[in-house]
Every structure is written in C-alpha cells, then in structure tokens.
Structure 1
Amino acid sequence: MRRRTSCALTVLLTPAVLAAAAACTGPERPAPDETAQALADGLARQDLSALTLVSDTSALPEQHLIEVVEPLLAAAEETGAASSVEVAEVVEAETAEDEPPRAAVTLAWSWPLAPGHTWDYTTDTELVWAPPPEDSEETGTWEVQWQHDLVAPDLAGGERLELESLEPDRGDLLDIHGERLVTERDVWRIGIDKTYLEPPRYAEQSEALAELVGLDPAAYADRVASAGEKAYVLAITIRQDEATSGVSFTADDARAIDGVNVLADTMELAPTSSFARSVLGRAGEATAEIIEQSDGAVEQGDVVGISGLQRQYDAALTGSEGLAVHVVDGDGEVVRDAYRVEAVDGADVATTFEPDLQILAEEVLSDVEPASAIVAVRPSTGEVLAAASGPGGEGWSTATLGQYAPGSTFKVATALSLMRAGVFPEDEVTCPTSVTVDGRTYENVPGYPQDATGAVSLRTAFAHSCNTAMIGEGAEVRQADLAAAAVDLGLGAASSVGAPAFLGEVPTEASATGHAEALIGQGAVLASPLGMATVAASVAAGERVEPVLVRPVEDDGAADDGAADDGGTDDGGTGASPSASASPDASPDASADTAEEPEPAGSAGGLTQTEAADLHDLMGAVVAEGSASALADVPGVTGAKTGTAQYGDGSRQHAWMLAIADDLAVAVFVEDGEYGSTTAGPLMGRFLTGR
C-alpha cells in the first residue's frame, strides 16, 4: 500500500485526471525545484510537515528519518559543525501523455561526525506531479516519493545506523637498537574494595595498605571513607615483574591485607621504574588541563602523553582515530558499513638510549643523595646513549636541563683558546700559588701538588688543574674568543637534540674578574652534564659533535583512507604518518634546540683535528699523571678532566669529571660534593668499569 502524508488534502488520481495533468503547462504547474529545496530543508530540520509524501512502506517517513539520523545528529553536535542537506540536481523527465510529470532529485548530504571525519554522500528520489481535483481552485502539488534509502544510501526497511570510533594503537618509544623501550607492560593495580569489608573496618584496613605501599595512612583512609559504599579505591599501581617493580613489597603482600583487591592491567612503561623517567616522561589518562587545552580533540579517559617525550611527541605517538558508520538490522547486528575510515596507528619514536648503559648509570647514582647525573655520548655519531639523573634531583632531568658552573672541566675550552693564542701543550706557563685580578685573589684547590707549581708545561698545569696558570695565561685571550672556543666544542652551540636540553652558556663579554672566573669555569659560565659530555665527545671525534637523543620520525607515505564505496570522504588529511615534531609548549625555556635567540658563534674554522688531538693529549695527561689517575687502570680510557666549582656563599661545591673511553664520552656530575677527583671520580670509575 502506498501512503501519502501531508498537511494538505491528498486524493487518488483517476486515469482521466492523470491525462489532464500531463497536458498541464505554464503557471498552473510550477517547476519542481521549489519542492526539491523544501525537501532538502525539511530533511535538514527533520521536519517534513510542509511536504506531500508518498510511501509504499509502513514506516512513517518523519519518524523513520529521525531514527536514522539521530546518531549522526548527536555526533555532528559534538563537533560544533553544522550538517547539511543540499539539492545537487533536479531533472524533469520526459513522460508519455497518459503519465504524470516526474522529476528526478539528487540530494547531497554532509555529516561532520568527528574532527577530521565528514561523511558526504548523495541519495535520489522522484517527484511526481499531482494536479488538483477537477473544478478545484487548488494548484496541485509535487509529491515526494519516500523510500528508506532517501536518508542514507542502500538503506533497507528495518535498518538503522550506528557510529563507532576506531581507536589507533599508540606508538612506542624505541631504544637505539629499534627495540621497544616504552611499551605496554603488565601491572598490578592495588586498592581497597569496599565490597570486601564491613564499614567499621574501612579505616583500619585502609591504613594498613597505605603503610605497606608508602602512602599517608590518614589521607588514604579518608579517600576510602568518602568513596561510595561499593567503590574500589586505588592506592598504587606496580609492575608485575618484581625485579623491575621498584618497590619493596609484592602483590601477595597486599593481598594478605583484608579488603584489598589486586587487579591485573597493562600500562605504557619503560624497562624499569626509574629508566630515564625525567626524559621519557609518562603516558596516562588525560588530565583536566590537557582536555581543556585540546579544544575537544581529547576526551576524558583518552590515553595521552602527560610529560617528557611522551608529551612532546604525543601527536606522533597517538596517531589518529578512525570512524565507522555501521548499518545494523533490527536485532542490532552489523550488516555492513556505510562509511569507514580506518584508524592510523601512532608512529614509533626512536631514541638513542642504550638500555644497558642507562640502567648502569642509574644504578651507579642510586645512592647519591644530592642531585647528580651521568651522561654518555658516542663521539662518532653524537648519539646520547645514557642520560641518567640521580634521585636527588627529585624528578628533574639534571642530566639534560641542569645549569651549573662546570669548574675546571671547562678548562678544555680554556686550553683550546690558549692554543689558538699560541700556547701549546709543551710550552712553558707559570703556575703561582695565587694570582690577583682587579683586587680579587684566586688560588689553586687545597692540596694542589707543590711540584706542579712555578714554571711548568701547559700539559702539567692542565693535568693538575692549575687555576692560576689558566687565569694568568688567559689574560691575553679575549672573552669573545673563549666563548667561541666553547661553542666549537659544542658548549652552548645550537643542536637538534630532539628533547628539551640546555647545553651551556658562555658570555662573550666580561669584566676582568668575570673573565678570570670564566677561564676556570665559574662566574657566568653555565653547562649541563649533557653539554660537558658533548665537549669531551668533540675532543674524541676531532670535530664539534651535535648531540642527538631523538631521531626524526619517518613519513611512510600515504595510508589507506578506508573510504566507503558510496563516495564517503575523510577530510582529516593526506593519510601520511603523523609528524613527530614537538608541541609548541612541550619544551621548557632551557631547550637549546627550540630557543629563538641567535646561535652562539664559534670560530671561523671550527674545531680542527689537530686542535682536538692536542686537547686529547692534555686530557690523557690528566689520567697519566694528574687528578684522574684513578682511571689509569680502567680499560679503554684515553683522557679525562676533573672539575670543582664553588657556588652559593662559596662553602659548597659542584663535583665534575669528564672521560673519554673508546667511542664513549662521559660526564659525571654531583651538585654537592668534595672535589671532582674524590666525589665524581669514583662514580666515573664504577660506570666505565661496569659498561
């Protein structure tokens, strides 16, 4: 049975009337375009009351329309963009004299379903002219032939639409070997399940669990008490692998406490609980701040980068969501897809970390109380193999972001500036017990060997770290030339590290006392452990090394956009792999590779191999006869430099040591120590011996 619905009177037409209608022309039969536009407008508003509809289905057209488009409307509303129905084409057909006039109408639909996903398609229907009854003053009307597939392509009776977001797999952080560094690992989620306890025992058992896992007992008990009566209140998440869990208790210890529920889960984690944590950062459920800043791209429950490289490269690691519009039958079973764009999985981000070296460095620093760091760079490539920050830094990346006076380790740059001024390793310099500049007196460190004072070679002065010789000889070196020498060694030079990093800072102008302090790595001279490891690496490489910690993510070309056969389109982009460029707000101000200041200028010719060989020779003397003689028996060590830098009121000292061993340049730093040789030296020895 065909059904007509209209707010106006509709009658069945006799053959005689049809013949008369076929003969109608001129103003008595308006063009179908106006009705076609009214149809498009009504479909867009989900209001068909202004139309005359003819249907051979039992479904009411307007009800059917609303049921089909309801999920599409909801999705479009969330995007904040407007959906549309437009008249694409109206073509009047040639009909026989005994047939009513007809017009074919093509409608263009557009549904913005999610950011980057707009479903565009067309549907067709027919308008049939129904003239007014004989002797009637009415003008007649174009009737719309209603079918299920007028709303969506190929839709049959009883079928509806459902939307599904297709989630991408998050990319992994990789190590230098291309192995997964941060990936899904098994964890235990440990907490109080209030359904396991009677209310009088909530406080006692909550406090017992808190004491086991290291939480404030009263605060956790309050959280449990304020949660719903059937709530599960998480206390801590630990790794299932006890060897890398980083805690002193096990899941079984927690299970032994009444009321505790231990749930198995997975999390994106590094090989150990401390592994480069301040650099890699973490991924987890989006915070309220991240959701607010995303302009709707991130929703509650989404896993995103929270900090570190996970945050900086979040767009690349996350990938992009796909979307499917399913056609479902009356039982809710998916029959086919009307539109589908597959998710693009996140790209892997390759770091240069050598896991064994990073873990070793962290083990060496594990019991150092002040802020500390060990950085290892491969001179031949600039790859940062380890960037470990000790627990004393309280989560700060001391290794890459620390800004400290480098003390006598900076004398590598001072020696380079002296050689450029004509003072070479075998040349004689004077190392007095003290030297005065503009009324300020400088001395050597306590315990400086007496036999290395007076007239000695630059090699001897460097080996024992004579402050007075460097200040005295350096008086003839311009501050700008000292700064240029530092840049030629990589200290303060711009470099595409790929992660937030501070390499160093050396002023190009200074007063007489400021210049004297700069010559011995104090005053306004600043460096990070990464910066000083780069200095050692440049000496070993024979040219300025540019350290790199993250390699660029490669674009793998166009991906399958998964467009449906109906011509659905994805307006989200080209299908290329996501870019791994850093978010604008991902790097702190200390990032040398994102700062907008001009690149510090080195010398015109840069570091030469001859200069580097002489510097390597000087560093070799530090091991053979000077302050790093403790490294003489460590295999592969060919050079080193110790450093001590007073800070604050002068009663506290930074302790440093640099070393070159085979194709490895290492910097060790301790914020509060005795001397470079006595505080940093043993740590360097343990690291190089254990590598």
Structure 2
Amino acid sequence: MEKRQMKIRKSLFFVLIISLLLPSCGQKAPEELPTPQSQVTTVPDVDGLAQSFLSAWQAKNYKSMYEMLSSSAKKSFSLEDFTAYYEETASNATLQSVDTEVLSTTLNPESAIAKFKVTYNTSLFGSFDREMDMPFSWENDSWLVNWNSGLIMPELGGGSHLSLEVLANDRGAIYDRNGEPIADETTAWSLAIIPNQIEEGKEGQLLNILSELTGKTPESIQASYEDLRLTDWYVAVGEASDTDVQANWDTLVSLGGLQMSKYQTRYYYDGGIAPQAIGYVLSIPTDEVEAYKEKGYQGDEYVGQAGLEKYAEEALAGKPAANLYVVDSNNQVISKLNQADSRLAENITTTLDKNLQIQAQNAIMGFKGAVVVMEVDTGRILAMASSPSLDTNLFDPNNTNSSALLNDLLNDGDQRLLNRVTQGTYPAGSVFKIIDMAAALESDLYTPDTTYYCGSYFEELQGEKFKDWTVDHDLPASGTLTLTQGLIRSCNPWFYHIGLDLFRQKGATYISDMARGFGLGSATGIDQVAEDTGQIVDPSTDGDAVQQGIGQGDMLVTPLQVVRYTAAIANGGTLYRPQLVERITTTAGVDVSTLSPEATGTLPISQETLEAIQTAMRGVVSSRIGTARDALSGLAIPTYGKTGTAQNPMGDSHAWFTGYTDENREDLPDIAVTVIAENAGEGSEIAAPIFRRMIETYFYGEPKKLFDWEVKLNVTKTPTEEFTLTPTEGGEQQSTPAPAG
C-alpha cells in the first residue's frame, strides 16, 4: 500500500514541476491548464471487519464467519469442520452466549492484527474472559482472517478440543403437604400377572397383595385377566417401590402367576398422584438437545415435560458438578480449564393432600371429568383430579409395563394427559345462576325477596318456549318463588327471566361483566400447570340473553375458575391465586422459597349481595326444595352449594356441583369443592355425591357413605377393569372400557 501511495505522490510532484517550468522556457502558457487527477485506493477498515467477524460469532452465523476467512484458512478447514469446531466447543463449555470487544488494531502493508476480548457466558462455569489476536492478510484487495482454532479460545490452538465431565445429581423429590412422597428417584418393580400360572387356592392372596402394593382394587385386577385365564399372556398390573416390595418379599416370591421386573426410575407413587398436575419426565427431544446442552445438560437426561415436573425443572434438576478439560487429538488431557461445584437438586412440597387426592381420583374414575378442592382462605389446592387418567410410570421405557400399555392409553381418544381441572372448558350450566343472582341484586332491580312465578315453561319470548328441568322429571311447576328460593330450587324460568330482563334494561355486557368480575373468561393466575381461560361472550340477541341466564350459550368455564369464585363467596369476597407449590427446600430441609397466599381481586358485589348468595347456597343443601338436599342429607359438616346440569350439544348433559364448608376449625381450614362429570346427567345425582365424598374424606379421613353405584368403596355393582362404572341417567350401569391393569 505504501508503495502505491509513493507512486501517486511522485506523479503529483512531476506534474507540479512541469507546470512551473513551462512559462520559464519562453512558451505561452495555455489559458486553462487541466486540473491534475489522482485515484486513491481505500483500504478496508480492519476494526470494522474484526467486529463483523465477532458479531457473526455472537449470532452463531458460522457461514458468514467462514466467508471472511483467508484462502489458506479455508484450505485447512471446510465449512462443515469450521462449524463443528465452534458448535462442539459451545456444547462442551455449556456456552450460552459470548460478549466480544475489539481492543485495538495494528496495520501493516500486507497484514494486520486486531486484538480482541471474549467473555464466555456458560451455564455451568459462569463467565470467564480471554484476550486474543486476530491476524488478517491482504488478498484480492480485501483483508481476510487468517483463522486458526486458537481464535475460539487460546487453549485450543494447535487443534486441541474441550472435553466436559459431568457428575450428575439425583432429581429432587416431590411431596404432598404432609411430607408423603409423590415422585422420587428410586428403585421400582413392574408387576404383572401370567394368568395360567396362578396357583390354585392362592388367587385371593395374590389379588390382595397386588391391591395393597398398587392401590387398585382386587376386583379391578381380577377383571383385567378374567377372559385370559387360560393364556400365558403378560397382563400388566402396576408398579411398586422397592421398599414396599422388600417388605413383602417372602409372600411375593411364593405366589405363582406373578411376574416382577426391577428397574431404576423416576417413580410416581400409587400409580400417579394427580398425574396431570404433577407431570412426568421424558428423555430430551432430539430437536431440543442442543438447547439443553447450553443449559449444562449432557443431552441424555430425563427432563420435566408437563406439570410441576416442567415448571420446577431448574429446582428439581439442580446443577451437577463439572470439570472442563483441554484435550489433544488423541483425547488425552492437556490441562483443566475450569470446574464447577454442584448445586444439589431441590425438593418440592406441594399443597396437595395425598389421601384426599387419591379419594378424589377414585371418586371421579369411570367418568370423564374433574374434581378440585381449594382452601377458601388461601387458594391452596388440596386435590386436583382429572379423569380419565393414566399411570405416569409408564413413560419410563425401562418399565416393562410401558410397552404393554402406554401406546394404547395415549391413543384411546380419552385425552388422558389433559388436565380437565385447568384445561377442560364447559358450559357453566346452573352453577352460573350464582352470578346471575349477583348481577340481579347489584342492578337495584331486584331484592332477595323479589318474586317470580316458576312455571314449567318460560314463554316471555314470542314464539319461543323454554322448559324447566322439572318437566323432564315429571314434577309439577315450582310455583311462585323469591329470588333466593329461585336459586335454591334452580328454577330455569326465573333465570331465563333475569337474563332477558337485565339484557334489555342494563345492556348486553351487564351479566358478562359480572361474570368477568367473578374471574370467568380469564386466567386464574396459576402458573405451575397449563390452563385455559375459557370465554364469556356478550349476548347479541334476546335469545342469547335467555341462554346466558342459565349458563348456556357460547360461554365456557373451567372447574378451577368455578372453585375459585366459590371459595371467594365462602371467604367474604376475596379471589386468590390458586397455588400448587407450598415450598421449595434443599435436600437438608432448608427452605429455599415459600409461597404465601396471594389475593388477586375481590368479587364486584356488596356485602348484602354476598350474604344473600350464601343464604341461598345454604338452602340448596338444607331446604326442603333444595336440589342437593337428598344427596347431602345427614352430613354433619355445614355445607353450602349449587347443583348444575349443563346442556351439551355433543351428548348428554354435564353434571356440576360446587360448594364449600363452614366448619371454622383451626386444624382443618374450610374448603371449596367443585365437581364436573361429563355427560353424566344431573348434578344432584352424580356430582353432589362426589362432593360429599370429598367433604367426608377431608374432615373424617375416609368416606362415610357409598355412592348409589357402589357395592363397596371404589367398587361398582358391576366391576370392570377400572375402579368404577359410569352411571347413566336412568341409573343403569354402563361399562367404561379400559385396558388391562
């Protein structure tokens, strides 16, 4: 470059001398001399080129980086090798990002050097810095990088590589509120029956001990192989922990027909406690391996894929101890570059009550539906049951029961992984009448004592006729009822009238806005599990308004939303954020974080309206005209509630019940419970008895009354492979198919 500039200077000097000498030689100078022209070549800015190269590194744009290399560098490394070098280094270093800075540049005629600094931000080893020199050579009128492997990191000069050694942690455990295990890393046994090997006279003993180990009834286990008695088929039953198996070892090994297989696993106790809420672990999906490696994973771990397992992945997984080595081409260690101490996995204590949760799962089994139990003064979730369910132990391919059952369960069309408490959306049906009553009283158009004639039909819309529920039950019209009695009796015409009247007098959004104030149509705030917001749609016609009055039309709500506003009615009007995690602790039991109750809003109603609703909900249970009186008679715990039967255009009606207790005990805080059984018919016949079982289990430790469809606890009058059958509206039993085990 300097030679070219010297030639240009010499040319300019020569032109200047000639122009000065011409007049002195006696020649006439031209009137206009041409202006001397010169052409200067602009040398590319080395600082900018270095920054472009480093910016491409930050963006992981290795192709752009490669295009900036000198011809000699490209001869030594193909684009594929160049890219692989950077990706391998990033993976082994658990590199999340790099920060770069050009510090200085030095320019020579045929070469240049850019001094730069790199900060490596890693998942396992924190951040550390290196300073390096980036050499450039002048080729084809441009500066190009004379790349070598030491430009990734000085220690890698000469073709060395990084090698990562990870000393993994055991995954943290998940417990219920009382410290009972829900999920843990342990040894487990898969249990199965070979029917034709069952010894005569020992079948009862075999069934009883398998029932004790798996939590399934002897009847359901027997039904799973009843038609296969003469075969040597593998009939999966369930899993048991090594502790429980060892405690019964002598008995187990003495029983013919039992097949046991031992394996290490993430074990979910009792066949999965709240499986949709707790979630499960799976191996890292192929397309996510690199992303997990950047977080410090090796890529072959099992990670949380749903529920709390996914929500608390960072706490449950912890961080492993790790060493980062520089190795030569023969994988021999040259030096230790860095090391990281482990951060032990942490344990999760949930708000769930194991016994209550299991009873909730058993109670709703055989139906499609959900049961949710919430403390009214805190928002803590004590039970969250969704049915149909599945055993999350089946996700471990080391479990021999997995290949026998998993695919069939996931593809049976029952959406077993769907958490119907938080993601199931349904018409609210008559449980929405609580909100109608609130809207009516807040409108100043009604009082609790306002009366209306509850006939068999509602005929206020010309040419249209809407029936009361009493018609299908061959009951007489309920007659003149106060607004309070209208809710107690769940009179459809009363609430058809309210829906239409408030639409006409207060506007299309009036009842909808009240519903939104009760928390419908928006997220509850629970963030430990996925949830659906449902929808509240403003009516656009008189007909829409009539349907809104009984919780029908286009509205969709979740059981979690319903139990949340039910709890708010019980506690005086406060809406709490639903909570599934009580605390996160170290393995030594030291609290890392604790979650406190969080109020997120209040019901948009006066104290007088609230008390009127409470009175009506008490009457639903205790009044002679109350729709839940028969189902809850004899229950000593003071309860308040509302039945619901939501029409379903795709099939039979959904059965709802929502309610709460008012026992005022310090040791057992009052609870709200919401139940929905899909396509099960009447809320008073199906959902209310399930509500009762939750109350009895919570306050007495166990159910005190059998369902009408049970011959004994958790056993229907006609047992199937599942615990229960789905009763039809007529009271007959209808089998719910289920796979063996």
Which amino acid letter does the alignment assign opposite residue 679 of structure 1? I
CA shift at 1:349, angstroms? 4.2
Question: What SS does structure 2 have at the residue aligned with 1:620?
Answer: helix
CA shift at 1:339, angstroms? 3.6
Contact 1:347 1:578 in 2 (8 A): no
Question: What SS does structure 1 have at the residue aligned with 2:314?
Answer: helix
Question: What SS does structure 1 have at the residue aligned with 2:480?
Answer: strand
Aligned to 1:455: 480
| CA shift digits 1:406-439 (9 cap, x unpaired) | 2111111111111112323222122122113353
RMSD: 4.8
Structure 1 pair 300/618, CA: closer, same or farther in 2 (3 Å)?
same
1:508 aligns with 2:515: no
Contact 1:659 1:666 in 2 (8 A): yes
Structure 1 pair 538/241, CA: closer, same or farther in 2 (3 Å)?
farther
Structure 1 pair 622/243, CA: closer, same or farther in 2 (3 Å)?
farther
Q: CA separation in 1, counterparts of 2:260 and 2:658?
A: 50
Aligned to 2:454: 431
Which of 419, 441, 460 pairs up with 2:465? 441
Contact 1:400 1:529 in 2 (8 A): yes
| CA shift digits 1:568-606 (9 cap, x unpaired) | xxxxxxxxx8999xxxxxxxxxxxxxxxxxx9xx99x82
Question: What SS does structure 2 have at the residue aligned with 1:639?
Answer: strand
Contact 1:491 1:534 in 2 (8 A): no
Which of 560, 574, 578 pairs up with 1:548? 578
Mapping for residues 643-662 of structure 1, pairs under 5 Å: 643-648=644-649, 652-662=652-662
Q: CA separation in 2, counterparts of 1:162 and 1:169?
A: 23
CA shift at 1:278, angstroms? 1.2
CA shift at 1:657, angstroms? 1.0
Mapping for residues 41-120 of structure 1, pairs under 5 Å: 78=92, 115-117=123-125
Q: CA separation in 1, counterparts of 2:359 and 2:574?
A: 27
Which of 653, 657, 678 pairs up with 1:671? 678
CA shift at 1:508, angstroms? 2.8
Contact 2:92 2:164 in 1 (8 A): no
Contact 1:490 1:546 in 2 (8 A): no
| CA shift digits 1:97-130 (9 cap, x unpaired) | xxxxxxxxxx99989696553785999xxxxxxx
| CA shift digits 1:334-363 (9 cap, x unpaired) | 999774221223444453222222111112
CA shift at 1:644, angstroms? 0.7
- Give the TM-score normalised by structure 2: 0.55
- Give the TM-score normalised by structure 1: 0.59
Contact 1:185 1:239 in 2 (8 A): no
Contact 2:177 2:582 in 1 (8 A): no
Question: What SS does structure 2 have at the residue aligned with 1:611?
Answer: helix
Q: CA separation in 2, counterparts of 1:76 and 1:523?
A: 55
Q: CA separation in 1, counterparts of 2:308 and 2:578?
A: 13
1:632 aligns with 2:639: no
Mapping for residues 535-684 of structure 1, pairs under 5 Å: 535-551=565-581, 606-625=604-623, 626-629=626-629, 630-648=631-649, 652-662=652-662, 663-684=670-691
Aligned to 1:383: 380
Which amino acid letter does the alignment assign opposite residue 487 of structure 2? F
Structure 1: 4+ residue segments shifted above 6 A: 71-74, 80-84, 107-114, 211-215, 241-245, 253-257, 332-338, 552-556, 577-580
CA shift at 1:541, angstroms? 1.2
Aligned to 1:67: none
Structure 1 pair 635/269, CA: closer, same or farther in 2 (3 Å)?
farther
Q: CA separation in 2, counterparts of 1:578 and 1:339?
A: 30
Contact 1:542 1:607 in 2 (8 A): no
Q: CA separation in 2, counterparts of 1:244 and 1:533?
A: 39
Structure 1 pair 681/340, CA: closer, same or farther in 2 (3 Å)?
same
CA shift at 1:514, angstroms? 1.0
| CA shift digits 1:55-98 (9 cap, x unpaired) | xxxxxxxxxxxxxxxx99975674597999x9x9xxxxxxxxxx
CA shift at 1:442, angstroms? 0.9
Aligned to 2:441: 419
The unaligned stretches of length 5 or more in structure 2 are 1-84, 104-114, 132-153, 193-220, 226-233, 389-413, 587-591, 663-669, 699-741
| CA shift digits 1:267-307 (9 cap, x unpaired) | 33343213111121102332334426647545442121122
Mapping for residues 286-305 of structure 1, pairs under 5 Å: 286-291=284-289, 294=292, 297=295, 298-305=297-304
CA shift at 1:670, angstroms? 0.7
| CA shift digits 1:179-230 (9 cap, x unpaired) | 6532224312689xxxxxxxxxxxxxxxxxxx99989xxxxxxxxxxxxxxx
Instruction: Report the more deviating stretch, 353-362 or 114-123.
Output: 114-123
Contact 1:538 1:612 in 2 (8 A): no
Aligned to 1:228: none
Which amino acid letter does the alignment assign opposite residue 659 of structure 1? G
Q: CA separation in 1, counterparts of 2:98 and 2:416?
A: 51
Q: CA separation in 2, counterparts of 1:243 and 1:371?
A: 31
Structure 1 pair 74/680, CA: closer, same or farther in 2 (3 Å)?
closer
Structure 1 pair 169/660, CA: closer, same or farther in 2 (3 Å)?
same
Structure 1 pair 433/263, CA: closer, same or farther in 2 (3 Å)?
closer
Mapping for residues 152-191 of structure 1, pairs under 5 Å: 163-177=164-178, 180-188=181-189
Contact 2:277 2:307 in 1 (8 A): yes
Structure 1 pair 340/612, CA: closer, same or farther in 2 (3 Å)?
same
Q: CA separation in 2, counterparts of 1:327 and 1:290?
A: 26
Structure 1 pair 187/462, CA: closer, same or farther in 2 (3 Å)?
same
Q: CA separation in 2, counterparts of 1:72 and 1:550?
A: 42
CA shift at 1:505, angstroms? 2.5
Q: Normalized per residue, which structure has more helix?
A: 2
Q: CA separation in 1, counterparts of 2:125 and 2:417?
A: 40
Aligned to 2:429: 407
CA shift at 1:506, angstroms? 1.8
Q: CA separation in 1, counterparts of 2:561 and 2:245?
A: 30
Q: CA separation in 2, counterparts of 1:373 and 1:289?
A: 34
Which amino acid letter does the alignment assign opposite residue 686 of structure 1? R
Q: CA separation in 2, counterparts of 1:78 and 1:326?
A: 9
Mapping for residues 298-313 of structure 1, pairs under 5 Å: 298-313=297-312
Instruction: Report the more deviating stretch, 374-383 or 485-494.
Output: 485-494
Aligned to 1:40: none
Which amino acid letter does the alignment assign opposite residue 565 of structure 2? V
1:477 aligns with 2:502: yes
CA shift at 1:542, angstroms? 1.4
Q: CA separation in 2, counterparts of 1:465 and 1:346?
A: 52
Contact 2:121 2:128 in 1 (8 A): no
Question: What SS does structure 2 have at the residue aligned with 1:343?
Answer: coil
Tell me the percent identity. 23
Mapping for residues 310-389 of structure 1, pairs under 5 Å: 310-325=309-324, 339-366=338-365, 368=366, 370-389=367-386
CA shift at 1:381, angstroms? 0.8
Number of corresponding residues: 479
| CA shift digits 1:364-413 (9 cap, x unpaired) | 123x2x31211111111111211111226533211221111121111111
Which of 486, 505, 511 pairs up with 2:515? 486
